[in-house]
Amino acid sequence: MYVILEWTRVDLGILLGAQLQLPPLQNRRFVTLRECTVRLIKMAAARLVAGTGSVKLPPVTFVTGNAKKLEEVKVILGNSIPFQSLKLDLPELQGDPEDIAKEKARLAANQVKGPVLVEDTCLCFNALKGLPDLRILHHSYIHVYALLLVILWIHSKWFLQKLGHEGLNNMLMAYEDKSAYAMCIFSFAIGPNSEPITFVGKTAGRIVPARGPNDFGWDPVFQPDGYELTYAEMPKEEKNKISHRSRALALVKSHFAEAGYAFDT
Ligand SMILES: O=P(O)(O)OP(=O)(O)OP(=O)(O)OC[C@H]1O[C@@H](n2cnc3c(O)ncnc32)[C@H](O)[C@@H]1O
Ligand SMILES: [Mg+2]
């Protein structure tokens, strides 16, 4: 039976963790008793196997073909997780965002033959009713698609390249609801044969006519809630404080801290 525990720093998990000399499970408000026990046992077992009190890993490889992503990841992670980067053009997969991220991690781990981190990012519009067919969208916009309730996510380079910033705005022309969210999913695979795990970060905002430098994807058309500036207009440090990417990476960092990985240098 699952028992829901309110997760505080003085609860059962912390007490168990302290007994086992394990780091606390961070950033979790609720956790099942079963999940807590399984995690603690897994971490303890991994450390016993490693024989050193921590799990030893070769350096993590962050695989991306996008230099702008890499810039942000470097700044956000700082020295918290030692990693190297590798530019691989992985296929632009379609489907459920978490599945895409996991598949990317599998493909990357198979090539790297070691621990990898990948990410998949998408911009999701809340208003569009119906999946657009790009060819029709280009000519007569959205009239044909008024009936189905759908969240459209724009997660491929190809989509943005085809439509441009104006095209993204045009898609929402007939709708009052310009709300959207940016979503980033990191996936970590410890090696080629391990099941990848995912970490999701989201930032809510809306789609606006393009403003600011045009050097990173859809940044000029996304204005996060609570701000008068688009991502592109914000100083980088400001974007990194509230971005979908930094929120997902906060979870990645917590995971690494909980697992207590140590890295070969
Ligand atoms: O090799 P990967 O990591 O897949 O790099 P990519 O450029 O293909 O990246 P995605 O598939 O995740 O992203 C799809 C599109 O979203 C854009 N994008 C990703 N993160 C963004 C961000 O923080 N702000 C604006 N655009 C972003 C990116 O430039 C692509 O055009
Ligand atoms: Mg991609």
State the SS3 of 54-87. Answer: CEEECCEEEECCCHHHHHHHHHHHCCCCCEEEEC
Structure tokens at 71: 């810039």
Binding residues for ITP: 64-69, 104, 120-121, 216-219, 239, 244-245
Per-residue pLDDT at 128: 63
Per-residue pLDDT at 68: 96
Structure tokens at 140: 């007569």
Q: Which residue has the tokens 């592109």?
A: 232
Question: How high is the ipTM of this complex?
Answer: 0.98
Alpha-carbon span 107 to 113, nearest angstrom: 10
Q: Which of the residues in the chain have pLDDT under 50?
A: 1-30, 48-52, 129-153
Ligand 1 lined by 213 (C-beta under 6 Å): no
Burial profile 227-257: b = 16 or more Cβ within 10 angstroms, e = fewer = eeebbbbbeeeebbebbbbbbbbbbbbbbbb
Per-residue pLDDT at 41: 59
Per-residue pLDDT at 263: 81
Ligand 1 lined by 239 (C-beta under 6 Å): no
Per-residue pLDDT at 122: 86
Ligand 1 lined by 216 (C-beta under 6 Å): yes
Per-residue pLDDT at 45: 54
Contact indicator for 202, 209 with CB cutoff of 8 Å? no
49: Cβ contacts below 8 Å, ≥ 6 apart? none
Is the whole-model pTM more than 0.80?
A: no
How do residues 155-195 score in pLDDT, each as one tens digit?
556 677 777 888 888 877 778 888 999 999 999 999 998 99
Alpha-carbon span 79 to 83, nearest angstrom: 9
| CA diameter of the chain | 65
Ligand 1 lined by 106 (C-beta under 6 Å): no
Contact indicator for 222, 205 with CB cutoff of 8 Å? yes
